[in-house]
A and B are shown apart, each in its own frame.
Chain A
Amino acid sequence: MLRKEQNDLLTQTGPGTPGGRLFRCYWMPALLAGELPENDCPPVRVKILSERLIAFRDSNGRYGLIDEFCAHRGVSLWFGRNEECGLRCAYHGWKYDVSGQCIEIPSEPEASGFFNKIKLKSYPLVARGGVLWTYMGDPAAQPPLPEWEFITVPPAQTYTSKRLQENNWLQAMEGGIDSSHVSFLHRGDLNSDPLFKGAKGNQYNLSDARPVFEVVESPGGLYIGARRNAEDGKYYWRITQWVMPAFTMIAPRGNHPVHGHFWIPIDDETCWAWSFDYHPVRQLTAAELSAMRDGKGIHVRCEPGTYRPAANKDNDYLINRAAQKAGRTFSGVEGIGMQDASLQESMGPNVDRTKENLVSTDNGIIMARHRLLRAVKALLDKGVTPPGVDVEHQKVRSAAIVLPPDQPFKDGAREAMIARPSVAPASV
């Protein structure tokens, strides 16, 4: 249960809101690099944190992320011409560079210099690991570029996709740290999905549907350990990483790639679900890449030319009651990503948390909210930089590991929870 004012504080991320100020402390994924594939390619409309923006790549390969609307009459620059180092409005030809600076107003005498007085709001846009990252906060407080492992390994070892999710970012993120749903919602997929099947850990998951949890605060967020019984009295641990505010990383399975998500607010009723898969020490195989592109694992298949899932609320997520009844899927929806998304969207665009009845196993979610609220307060009251901004907080890994019963996972998996170049992930 969360009081309405707390819920509003965490779920509203537009300009000037407390939650919005928190998000504006971080570098966030804004676009896939492939969305701006070449110089002078078509511009792309982007909405993040309730701000309408336009992204483009100029003639010199520089990326720009600026206010979507021309300062002249408010026309969308999406119709603009991306040419000769700038984006030119299709209405009257006003032209902007990647910094949002107006560099030409054809109707005005050039000597007047009027164009110098026109500048659209802009944010940095930087390519890193196949993703274009933006920082929308105070330029004076801009942190170092992100260091997440999935964007620092060689390109052949990593794959990232994104999809539209039609609900507030928080209920999507909370799904990412809710380990107890896996034994139910996804149980039909553990032994069939090509990016999950074959791992010994799956058997532990399926044979023990009542895991025991431990939640530990980490420098950047939380370690959430889910413990199940293994052989010889040992415990099988699945350790999820949450790094503030919106990064979650799920424990790996066998030699499959490691994966996780970013949950980035588009506005207060929709978010981008970014899904990454990578392997720290080997290239992804052709079969793995094919499966990811085909929407397996945590990825989803989208409607052609869009980032909206092919199974979506307009077609009732292609629910298959026969598959549900036969036990092939628990909810009738196919695919791990859409199983999560369909249920989270069913809660409504922004769920009323005053009505929920949390239980003990929801402590990961409770602690995440607690840390977010604490960070917002510290930021607003004292200007304290929130956890997760420091790149050291980003060098984390999830882990799956079998430990003796008396060993805390925080100790037993200490090394495994740190991202180290060329070191294999801890996985079962």
Chain B
Amino acid sequence: MLSESARMTTAAESRFRVQAPNSTTRATAIIALDAPSETLVRRLSEGRWNHATFLRVPAGDSPGDPQPDEGWLTTLGDRRTRVRDEVNAADQVIMVAAAGGHADAAAAIGRTCSLKRVTTTSLIVGAAQASDRDVSKTLAQLRPWSLMVVIANSDDYVIDMMTALRV
């Protein structure tokens, strides 16, 4: 007689896996930390996503305020919005920065995420074209505030990652 495991690990038994949805939609905030990454985030915003909010750090501004609840972001439609409100509404936050760009806004966003226990993922894009020094500089700004940092050579990775995370 076959063991329980032997029977249950067959392809035939795989057909009987419950097909009901096993998760609800996650709310994701995708934030461009600098001008170069804003271009990418705008392009991403044109895709079809489950529950994504696309934001940017206001030009010439930074939410890097010592009081994170007072920090501000901007929607891609130029509406000002508080960091805390966006983080409160999110299950996960994805910060996108260009290698060598100005990612200092990560501190205020990350601090708020930390307070609210919201997962942070940071992406450094354009790494293939950047110097190690530029990558290191951006990495140093993102690392303290990220549960996961990805240094990607290709912008396409962001789409694959967002799809994989069911954004």
- A residues in contact (CB < 8 Å) with B: 1-3, 166-167, 212-217, 269, 313-317, 342, 345-346, 348-350, 352, 355, 357-363, 366-367, 369-370, 373-374, 406, 408, 410-411
Chain B proximity of A94: nearest CB distance (Å): 36
Known: A214-B148, A358-B165. A367 touches B157 (CB 8 A): yes
Partner of A314, one of B2, B140, B146: B2
Please give, as numbers and ranges, the residues of chain B lying within 8 Å of A212 by CB-CB distance.
143, 146-149
The 8 closest A-B pairs by CB, nearest first: A348-B14, A313-B5, A360-B148, A366-B164, A370-B160, A214-B149, A360-B121, A216-B151
Please give, as numbers and ranges, the residues of chain A lying within 8 Å of B165 by CB-CB distance.
1, 358-360, 366
A357 near B22 (CB under 8 angstroms)?
Answer: yes
- The distance in angstroms between the C-alpha atoms of A373 and B159, with both chains bound, is 13
- The distance in angstroms between the C-alpha atoms of A408 and B23, with both chains bound, is 35
Chain A proximity of B163: nearest CB distance (Å): 6
- Which residue of A has the minimal Cβ distance to B153? A217
Please give, as numbers and ranges, the residues of chain A lying within 8 Å of B147 by CB-CB distance.
212-213, 360-361
Chain A proximity of B94: nearest CB distance (Å): 9
- The distance in angstroms between the C-alpha atoms of A359 and B10, with both chains bound, is 27
B146 near A313 (CB under 8 angstroms)?
Answer: no
Please give, as numbers and ranges, the residues of chain A lying within 8 Å of B10 by CB-CB distance.
348-349
Please give, as numbers and ranges, the residues of chain A lying within 8 Å of B13 by CB-CB distance.
348
**Residue B11 at the A interface, CB < 8 A?**
yes
Partner of B150, one of A167, A315, A367: A367
- Which residue of A has the minimal Cβ distance to B11? A349
**Residue B92 at the A interface, CB < 8 A?**
yes
26 A-B pairs within 8 Å (CB atoms) are namely A166-B9, A212-B146, A214-B139, A214-B148, A215-B148, A217-B151, A313-B5, A313-B6, A314-B3, A346-B8, A349-B9, A349-B10, A352-B17, A357-B23, A358-B165, A360-B147, A360-B165, A362-B164, A363-B161, A366-B160, A366-B164, A366-B165, A369-B164, A370-B154, A406-B140, A411-B136
Please give, as numbers and ranges, the residues of chain B lying within 8 Å of A358 by CB-CB distance.
164-166
- Which residue of A has the minimal Cβ distance to B137? A408
A316 near B11 (CB under 8 angstroms)?
Answer: no
- Which residue of A has the minimal Cβ distance to B161? A366
Partner of A316, one of B3, B121, B132, B156: B3
